[in-house]
Amino acid sequence: MGFNERPLVEKYEIESTIQDYDKFIEIAASSGMKREGRSEEIAQLEQRRTELMNAIANLNFGNIEDSTSAQLASEVDLRIHSAKRELFVQRKELSAVTEALRSTAFVQFTPERIEQIYADLNIYFGEQVKRDLSDVQEFFVQVTENRSAALSAMKRRILERVSSLEQELSTLSEKRALYLQVIVAPGSIDLYKQLSPQLAVTETELSLLKQDVYRESIQTATAERNLLKTQQLTLAGQVASEIDEHDTTFREIKSHYHEIMVEVMDIDAELVIEKNSTGNLDFRTISWRDQSPSQELKGEMAKKISCAAFDVALRIVNNDDSGFIIHDGVIDNADRNIKKKFIEAMKRRSTQYNFQYIMTAISDDLPDSVEREDIVITLSDKSDRELLLGRTF
C-alpha cells in the first residue's frame, strides 16, 4: 500500500520494552530493601530458600485427600462393574459364535450318494434329477460359506471388544489402586500453595540483592523507561502522519471491501481503519441494516467472507507485483447462492485487477456455475497422482 510500517513496528517493540521495565521496577520497589550492608541479609535469604526447597521436595503429591480418594475410587468401582458386566456378555456371545462355527447347518450329501440309494431301491435316477440335486448342493454350499463369513466377522468384532474391555479394566484397576493409597502427607497440596509464593519472593529478593540493583537500578530503569516513552510518542506521531498521508489508500480499500460484501452476502458492511488512543492502527468491521448497526457480521460464514473480502481489497489496491491470494475452504458450508456469487466476484476481480485467485473447496459442494477450466487440480487419496505434494496428510 506504500505504507511505511517501520515506525509502527519500532513503536510496538519499544512499548514491549517499556512493559518489561515497568515489571522490573515494580518487583524491585516492592521488596522494600536497601543496598547497604546486605551480606547478612543475603545469607539469611539463602538459608530461607534452602529451607523452602527442602520443604517442597518432601511433600507427597502421589496421594490426595481421603474424601477425594474415596469419591474417585467409588466412581471407578462403578465403571469397573459396568465393564465387567459387558465383558461377561461379550464372552458368552463369543462362546456361542465359536460353537456355531464348529457345526454345519446342513446335511452333507452328494448326487452320487443319492444315485447309489436310488440304484439300491431299483428306482430310475435320471439326468434331470442329478442336475437338480447338483443345483441344490451348490445352493447349500453357498449358504454355508455366507454363514461362515458372517459368523467370522462377528467373532472378530467380539474379540476386538473383549480386548478393549480387558484393557479398560486393567487401567481402571490401576487407577483404583492409586486412589486408595494411604495418605502419607495430609494437606500436601494446600501446603505447596503456601510455600510456592514464598519461594518465588525469596528468589526474587535474593537475585536483586546479589546484583546490587535496588536503589540505583530502579533509578536507572526509570530513566531508561522515560527515554523510551519519549521515543514512543515520537513514533506515534510518525505513525499518525503515515495514516493521514495514506487516507486515500485506506478509503479505496474500504470501498472494495464494501462492494464485495454487498455483492456476495448482501450485507452493508464497513471497514473502519482508525488511530486509537495509543497511536496504533485499529481495524474494525461494522454492518448496517436500515441505517442501524446490525449483527450480520457475527455469523461464522459472514466472518469468513469478510476476511476474504479484506484480503482481496488489499490485493486490489496494492498489486504492483501482480501477485496471488489463496483461501482454504472459505466457502465450505455456505449455501449454493453465496458460493456462486463469491466465485463470480473473485473471477471478475482477478481478471480486472490482474492478480491470481486460488481457492480450495470440496468438489461435491461446488455450484454448477463452476466451469471445468476453472478447476486447476483435483486432490484425493485415490492415487499418488492426486495427492498433495505426493503425500498423505
Per-residue pLDDT of the chain (393 residues; tens, 9 = 90+): 555 667 767 777 787 788 877 877 776 666 554 444 566 667 777 777 787 777 766 655 544 444 445 555 566 667 777 777 777 777 777 777 777 667 654 445 556 665 665 565 555 555 655 555 565 556 556 656 666 676 677 778 888 888 888 888 888 777 666 655 533 445 555 666 666 667 676 777 766 666 554 566 677 777 888 888 887 777 777 776 766 666 678 888 889 999 999 999 999 998 887 666 665 667 788 888 888 888 888 888 999 999 999 999 989 988 777 688 999 989 888 888 999 999 999 999 999 999 999 888 888 778 878 878 878 877 777 666 666 666 554
Cell numbers standing for residue 17: 520494552
Q: How many CA atoms lie within 13 A of 10 on its CB side?
A: 16
Given this model, what pLDDT does residue 370 score? Answer: 80
pLDDT of residue 129: 54
C-alpha 150/C-alpha 300 separation (Å) is 46
User: What are 293's strand-pairing partners?
Assistant: 288
The whole-number pLDDT of residue 277 equals 63
3-class DSSP assignment, residue 320 = coil
Other beta carbons within 10 angstroms of residue 136's beta carbon come to 13
Beta-strand relationship, 292-294 and 281-289: antiparallel
Classify burial at 345, counting beta carbons within 10 Å of its beta carbon; exposed 0-12, middle 13-18, buried 19 or more: buried
Predicted TM-score of the model (pTM): 0.42
CB 325 within 8 A of CB 315: yes
The Cα–Cα gap between 195 and 48 comes to 11
SS3 289: strand
Contact 98, 151 (CB under 8 A): no
